[in-house]
Structure 1
Amino acid sequence: MKKIQKLLVVAVTLLLVFSLAACGSSSKETSSSSSGGEKGKSGDDIQELTIKISHVVAENTPKQAGAIAMKEYIEKESGGKIKVQVYPNSQLFGDKDEYQNLVANNVQFIIPDMSKMVGNDPGFNVPAMPFLFKDDAAAEAFWDGEKGKEIFKRLEKDGVLGLAMWPNGAKHMTNNKKAISKPEDLKGLKIRTQGGQLLEEIYGKLNAGSVSIPFNELYTALQQGTVDGEENTFSNIESKKFDEVQKYTTVMGHTRVDYALLTNTKFWDSLNEKTKEIVQKGVDQGTKVARESAKKLNDESLKKLKDRGQTKINELSPAEIEGFKKELQPIYDEWAKKIGEDIIKDAESKNK
């Protein structure tokens, strides 16, 4: 009898051991499948992610329009598995720290002004090259092409991947002193620019001063005469009401404001094929909307400036533009060597 009891105890014990082992294995499998990490990367499922997009300008801008288009496409096509958070107006990071936080993968997309990127690579001086592009289409064709992608690729040493150019548009000049139609007219004027060595040399060659002032302080600086003028896109001139404190506007298109859509390489490489396809198509949709929005906004802003009639608008003739080109040719030649003559030649070819 005792022997039978002992056998029953052993049997029950073994049964409990096998049962616990099975539960443990099942638990591990459940834990692995719900993590969404490595399984998502190697499998075909859309990964569950939260993506942050940070930029420094307001909501009523082409940059914000493009970011929202990205968000809407990615969230819809992923069935809500991917959440996209957009932070405009430097809510998350500002000009001074957004790139470092992208490198650290604290944010997955930023859209900085290319003028802020010249310290990372001289190729980002391309938008500041005088009269390099005749219109938005030529600039977009360059950045979509081989040489533009080559400049973007140089950021990979930092762990950053350049995906697309989003335009703000061609810049034009305003001032409170006189109409500008030839290089000599700029002599002695103090012009606010975005800063950078190339722009400083351009205005130095035109015998004008180049001053760097934060954008949010510019209206007051113009109003008080701290500077005589500034250069900007039509949308920036109109939305900030610079025409209230600037008597003259010269339609020049001499330089540009363009943005770079950047992502973190570790983040990008962590996406499986299906997820990456959705995110890439979201980038494409955002780029399309940002470009369309920039052109529409600048066209509407020029019309508003004309309708308000507070600034005298003078559009340079082709002959007058040639006069500026001739004066700035030494600067152009010098910086073509610094940026890369092959790059400049490719950019010039997009104007055909």
Structure 2
Amino acid sequence: MEIPKQMKAFRFNHYGDIAENQRTAVPTVGPQDVLVYVRNSGLNPVDYKIQAGKLKTLFSFQLPLTMGNEFAGEVVQVGSQVQNFVVGDRVYGRPDNEHTGTLADYIAVPAQEIALLPDELDFQAASGVPLTGLTSYQALVELGHVQPGQKVFIQAGAGGIGTMAIQIAKALGAYVTTTASPEKTALVRSLGADQVINYHENYFADVLFHYDLVFDTLGGKYLRDSFKIVRPGGHVVTINGLPTYQFGQRHGFGLAKSLLFGAVSAPLRRLARKYRVHYDFLIMHPSGTQLQVLSQLIEAETLLPIIDRIYAFGETQAAYDYLESGHAQGKVIVNVNN
């Protein structure tokens, strides 16, 4: 494939701006990078949070910024030091913040952040795996250390992360409880949920107790009340809470910002001490190695990406509008070049 100098991209110029289709330069490839021709991109709430400037405290992005944080495509160029990928490989991944921008014809990404597609998946299905799959894996395995027989509660089971987390928790041998509306109950049960709470009728904190792990995706009141249902010594992991001092130190944010994190998260840490549970705020990190683990689960038919809707590239804003409405069951995918 001849690589052009310019490409289409869905990007915004300033925080809070409306994103639009633009022309921009095809990214250059470093010695340890691969250049991927993007076939499909999965959409995620973090995308429009970045666009709105809500993550400026955590991360610095170079503007203008191309949107999108997970992809599936074909390798068209490899850096001089890359040994484990060749031109023509079908790959998928979640790029780091310096290489973000999957809603474009091409993306340059470090080779250690991608993995080969499982043979069982096409590009559309595969593009919905990396971000939600890695987030769920890291919450349940890396931080939660879920063991067979443990009780795990996952908020919002029919969403993009929920549909992944339920399946991974079941693969780990856990007893899984989740929340869903009546019309989505069949979906989450088909994924392996042992108990489904109709959130229109029951509030989870009123009916659950003595859980080993809560994986919170909603934040706010739902996060605060999660501490009530966890056994002493158990774990609350959230992607929608507040970072701690320890989080800042682990991720290299420096002393001043880590101290700020410690101050703002103090109410949550007090709850953790009150109920004698561990609290962790998670920002997922790219990992080709962990993607390979997810690929093995897919190949074993233990993990199946759930796709709600697929949009054309020219309909990307409509796709984000639908995702933000909160009605999606599983992933929303954009055909970039498919």
Q: Is TM more than 0.5 here?
A: no
The two structures have a TM-score, normalised by structure 1, of 0.30
The two structures have a TM-score, normalised by structure 2, of 0.31
More helix as a share of residues:
1
Q: Which has the larger radius of gyration?
A: 1
More strand as a share of residues:
2
